[in-house]
Homo-oligomer: A and B are copies of this chain.
Amino acid sequence: MAGGTWFTEDQREGLELSMQIKETLVSKQTPFQKLDIYDTYKYGKLLTLDDLVMTTEQDEFVYHELITHVPLFSHKNPENVLIIGGGDGGTAREIVKHPSIKTVDMVEIDEQVVRMSQQYMPFLAQELTNPKVHLFFQDGVEFVKNAASGYDVIIIDSTDPIGPGEGLLNTEFYRNCSKILNADGIIVSQAESLFNNPDWVKQIFAKMRNVFPVVQAYDGTIPTYPGALWCFAFCCKTPEPLDFFDAERFNRLNLDLKYYNKDIHRACFALPEFAKKLCNGD
């Protein structure tokens, strides 16, 4: 390895991604996990939890645009959104770009992720003080048991299903999400690495199918995530949202995005053959 200080993610099975760091901005143990924020040469600011890459300044746009705009432009009039996780704020930042949004409830188990992002990664956390955004520092699993219904879109923006995120890969959790989702609503969940975590991908889709009549996979490429090709699960109670794309609204809003566009909205559902088999449980 070249000189200097490096962050290395052990991606298991003898694979590592290393980024040279200019400076460690914060390194602490929260009540839930180890949290570090670095300034790197290639990817700008880097947030890690338990030494796994959560997001970087240079490629966060892929994940955050895909997990939000795909469901939001598939919904006819999204007003009330629930985020489970999403502590860095990138998901909320994209959601409030849609003027139809009235409330964003964000349930993050670890307040320190929000506070440290606000301090060191304002490009992500900038909208967490938006009056439309309501922060709940509690376990998402508990929140959805007791929440009032009425959500148009629910976004599960969680860590891997180990540690604090473990309870989120669970049929009961998905069932409680479904209860508080409107009849024409959409749930999107991050669904792990198609190349590196095929077992998690399979489990997520199998459990989603226990609850939702319509479950489709879409994907996008996030260079700093293990295996790069990342999967998302798109779930709804009727097939309509899958076929709907609000082209008029997309053109009118003219959002300044770096990954998502009209063509990507359709194309991201076209999965490589091996990935189709994984997500369809073949």
Contact = CB atoms under 8 A, between A and B. Distances in A.
Interface of A: 1-2, 4, 6, 8, 10, 13-21, 40-43, 59, 62, 195-196, 220-221, 223, 227-229, 257-261, 263-264, 266-274, 276
Most chain B beta-carbon neighbours within 10 Å: one of A1, A266, A270: A270
Most chain B beta-carbon neighbours within 10 Å: one of A2, A195, A272: A272
Given A195-B223, A227-B223, A270-B263, A15 B10 contact: no
A1 B1 contact: yes
Query: Top 10 closest A-B pairs, CB basis?
Result: A14-B20, A267-B270, A14-B41, A228-B228, A263-B270, A267-B267, A13-B42, A16-B18, A221-B229, A259-B272
A96 to B, nearest CB: 20
Number of copies: 2
Contacts of A220: 272
B16 A15 contact: no
Contacts of A21: 14
Contacts of A43: 15
A42 B273 CA distance: 20
Contacts of A2: 10, 14, 16
Most chain B beta-carbon neighbours within 10 Å: one of A1, A10, A267: A267
Contact of A260 (B4, B258, B266, B273): B273
A15 B18 CA distance: 6
A97 B117 CA distance: 52
Contact of A273 (B1, B20, B259): B259
Most chain B beta-carbon neighbours within 10 Å: one of A21, A42, A261, A273: A273
Given A14-B19, A266-B267, 5 more contacts: A62-B272, A228-B228, A259-B272, A260-B273, A266-B270
Contacts of A42: 13-15
Contacts of A228: 221, 223, 228-229
Given A8-B1, A20-B15, A195-B223, A272 B276 contact: no
A24 to B, nearest CB: 14
Nearest to A219: B221
B14 A16 contact: no
A2 B272 CA distance: 32
A263 B42 CA distance: 33
Most chain B beta-carbon neighbours within 10 Å: one of A16, A19, A196: A16
